[in-house]
Amino acid sequence: MLNMKQVYFFLAAMFFGTVASAQGIMPAQADKDAKSFNKQSVSSTQIDRDAFWSHDCNVDNCSDWIFDNGSDIVGSPWYEIDINFECATAGPSGPYNQWAGGSGDGSAASSMNSTTSANGTLMVDSDLFGADANYDANWVENCWVQTAAPIDCSAEPFVSISIETRYRCWDNGSSDDSEKCLIEISRDGVNWPDIATFSEEEGTVDYGDGPVVSRWEVFEGYGTGDGSDNPTIAEFDITEAAGGQETVYVRFRWSGTWGYSWEIDDIQVYATPENDTRIDNYISYTDYERTLVYEYGAWAQSQIPNELQAAAKVYNVGYADQTGVVLELDNNGVIGGSDAIDLGYQTNDTLAVAYQPAGLGEVVLNYTLMADAADENPGNNTATQSFEVTDLSFGRDNGIAYNATPVTDAGASADDYIAVSLYDIVEDVTIYAIDVAIMDGYEAETPVVAHLFDGSDDTFLGEQYGGIVTSSNEYDLIPGNGNTEGEAVTTWYHFILNEPYEASAGDWLGAGFEHYGGAIVQYGESKFTQDQTAFIYGPFGSGNAYDWYYTNEVPMVRLNLDPNVQENVSEVNTNLGFEMFPSFPNPTNSMTTVKFNLDRTSEVAFEVCDITGKVVFSINMGTQAAGMNNIRIDASQYAAGAYTYTLIVNGERATDRLMVK
């Protein structure tokens, strides 16, 4: 879901002065080869195992934990700083908690979906702390929760810990690796890894016989905007610090700079199994991380590559080396397998299996991880993905509108925007229309338009309309055809292109949907997509900066390959040869934008008058090209009150009202 915390401006230097409006969608990059992989976790349920120590984080047993905080990393130690872990039965309540299902109005989001979250979790709400601190948290946050009593591990030579957890990373808005979720071990409750070394790969403690590894990073490699599953199962072998020890203390430490939140529940300390491999935090039915082939939810059959591979990252959780590790793939009953590998203790690799869909319809892929030795915890050895092979619909989404966007903290947004999903063209194809899932609650008769972008154009993602190769007509939305949030899309709006576009193999295209602002029109967001593969243009940067930003929830904007597609929107009538759209924002006391569309090259002028009719601003824009244009008005120089603005095109006039507050 798009919200103001999901956004930050291109220039990192500007972030520090405007941090209150900034966490989540990131600056766009036009170079496809620069795309980075956004972590996903696969495991989501605890393994049924014999744990010799466990805790369900029940709020009634909060005295089992010690809470504290402090920092001496930058500047002086903290004074009057109240950030801490807490025992909680609700989720985060910071102002940007929409990512966790909250409303952003100060009420708490639901707790994570851990096994026993109803009776409580351990949580640090960094976002709430950032708001309380007026977003001036330029120091490094550092707080922890640790066991009050020691855990006896003396009978176990190999020891592991697992937690159910949920987390989203902010990482200072620049993915500078400053935010850490850490598990730490102490043998005496006094000596812990030094926080001053938190940025190093490992933290150690020396009890007199040399350094002992005593720190593990829970979400290694996460950057700004990355989020875990709800919940994720995190498992770590802590043998070096805890194996055979009579007294073991466990600490969960958060370190960062104004992030989101971290929740922990259902902790288990158990004997590390001898033989245990698992599917880890990456599966992809196109092996996107290595091939850059997009995962399409509705995959046009003509656009499926001749060579596909599904892949999964696999990890050896057991203390014995594993031989004959194989990933098996069941593709609608057709079985294939990867090459066999050996996995050493606490090592990982990515296994891939070649496959091809058999024809139209749903493709269900079942992954199974196997090895020579019998796995002691087979519950984390399977995963499933699916997509649809279609004839004439080509979509990145999976048909389910998980969110309606854009939104602000106050609810549905009337912001102007362009939402774009990217497509690779494998075989020559004709594109006739762009399909968009528009959500319930839109205002009927609102003008909208669709565009097809050339992703290889030098101006794509550099200019608002950079790379457009063709567009649809502008349409007024007819009432009654919205879609319900959280459900499968039942109505697609078809925006027929002015000219069918003949796409060639190797083309890289963007399907875009534009709303001019001033009224509520939301589109559907679907499944997760990797960084820099879906975009939105609008006032979503620091200080409401207009620019292109990428989003990790794919916009439901598809390519339509049907030569017989029929319009299901009503065309806008522009008798004057131009159309002016309402200014936005309105009312305002700063910048506002008036957009207008010209049917043909025209002479354009513009003026603003106060309530007496006095012209307070005017500009002769001269000859302007056909298409979309805009004028920016700085209302900060005007006294509060009512004004009118008038667009003059070839002598024809259109006037509307502007309120300055």
Cα separation of 142 and 179, whole Å? 10
Cα separation of 407 and 103, whole Å? 10
Q: Does some domain include residue 5?
A: no
Task: List the CATH number of the domain containing 241.
Answer: 2.60.120.200
Check pLDDT > 60 for residue 642.
yes
Q: Does some domain include residue 40?
A: no
State the sign of the Cα–Cα–Cα–Cα dihedral 333, 337, 342, 347: negative
State the sign of the Cα–Cα–Cα–Cα dihedral 661, 549, 596, 581: negative
Phi-psi region of 333 (alpha: psi -120 to 50; beta: other; left: phi over 0): left
Same domain, 439 and 542: yes
Model confidence at 226, pLDDT cuts 50, 70, 90, reads: confident
- For residue 264, what are the CA distances in angstroms to 112, 164, 219? 9, 6, 13
Same domain, 399 and 332: no
Beta bridge partners of 480: none
Which of the given ranges, 223-227, 246-250, 594-598, 620-624, has the highest pLDDT on average? 246-250
Model confidence at 374, pLDDT cuts 50, 70, 90, reads: very high
- For residue 78, what are the CA distances in angstroms to 130, 170, 260? 14, 21, 20
Q: Does some domain include residue 221?
A: yes
Which residue range is the domain that position 164 belongs to? 50-271
Cα separation of 137 and 130, whole Å? 6
Q: What is the pLDDT of residue 587?
A: 80
Q: Does some domain include residue 12?
A: no
> How many H helices and E strands in the chain?
4, 49
CA dihedral 483, 554, 431, 356 (to 10 degrees): -110
Same domain, 540 and 434: yes
Q: And the tokens for 430?
A: 């004709």
Closest alpha carbon to 434 in 533, 554, 567, 526: 567
Model confidence at 641, pLDDT cuts 50, 70, 90, reads: confident
Same domain, 384 and 248: no
Same domain, 537 and 522: yes
Average pLDDT over residues 174-185: 87
Q: What's the number of domains the chain is made of? A: 4
Check pLDDT > 50 for residue 353.
yes
pTM of the entire predicted model: 0.72
Of all residues in the chain, the percent with pLDDT exceeding 90 is 57
Least confident of 184-193, 394-403, 607-616: 607-616
Check pLDDT > 50 for residue 169.
yes
Q: What is the pLDDT of residue 140?
A: 60
* Peptide bond just before 231 cis, omega within 30 deg: yes
Q: And the tokens for 171?
A: 């990482």
Of 411 and 449, more confident: 449
| Domain's final residue, options 571, 600, 632 | 571
- For residue 468, what are the CA distances in angstroms to 255, 277, 407, 451? 44, 48, 26, 6
Closest alpha carbon to 550 in 485, 469, 461, 458: 461
Of 176 and 373, more confident: 373
Kindly write down the DSSP assignment for every residue of 535-552, as one continuous string.
EEEES-STTS--EEEE-S
Same domain, 258 and 286: no
Average pLDDT over residues 214-235: 88
**What is the 3-state composition of the chain as percent helix, strand, coil, each rounded to the nearest 5?**
10, 45, 45
Check pLDDT > 70 for residue 11.
no
Same domain, 415 and 384: no
The string of pLDDT tens digits covering residues 14-45 is 222 222 222 334 445 444 333 322 333 344 55
Q: Does some domain include residue 39?
A: no
Check pLDDT > 70 for residue 107.
yes
Task: List the CATH number of the domain containing 615.
Answer: 2.60.40.1930
Cα separation of 530 and 420, whole Å? 14
Q: What is the pLDDT of residue 18?
A: 24
Same domain, 656 and 560: no
Q: What is the pLDDT of residue 359?
A: 93
Q: By the 8 A CB rule, do 563 and 533 touch? A: no
Closest alpha carbon to 24 in 421, 546, 531: 531
Residue with tokens 């794509």: 460
Q: Does some domain include residue 36?
A: no
Residue 32: helix, strand or coil by DSSP? helix
Q: Does some domain include residue 27?
A: no
Q: What is the pLDDT of residue 257?
A: 76
Task: List the CATH number of the domain containing 338.
Answer: 2.60.40.10
Same domain, 238 and 374: no
Q: What is the pLDDT of residue 133?
A: 62
Check pLDDT > 50 for residue 260.
yes
Same domain, 155 and 291: no
Same domain, 486 and 543: yes
Pairing label, strands 615-624, 602-609 = antiparallel
Same domain, 167 and 283: no
Q: What is the pLDDT of residue 201?
A: 56
Residue with tokens 């700079």: 257
Average pLDDT over residues 218-229: 85
Q: What is the pLDDT of residue 25?
A: 43
Q: Does some domain include residue 6?
A: no
| Domain's final residue, options 555, 571, 587 | 571
Beta bridge partners of 597: 579, 628
- Which run of H or of E encompasses 240? helix 239-242
Closest alpha carbon to 539 in 498, 580, 588, 602: 588
| Domain's final residue, options 571, 597, 627 | 571
- Which run of H or of E encompasses 199? none
Task: List the CATH number of the domain containing 441.
Answer: 2.60.120
Check pLDDT > 90 for residue 554.
yes
Segment 241-244 long-range contacts (CB within 8 Å, at least 24 positions apart)? 241/185, 241/187, 241/205, 241/212, 241/213, 241/214, 242/151, 242/153, 242/159, 242/185, 242/187, 242/269, 243/153, 243/156, 243/157, 243/158, 243/159, 244/153, 244/154, 244/156, 244/157
Cα separation of 187 and 531, whole Å? 41
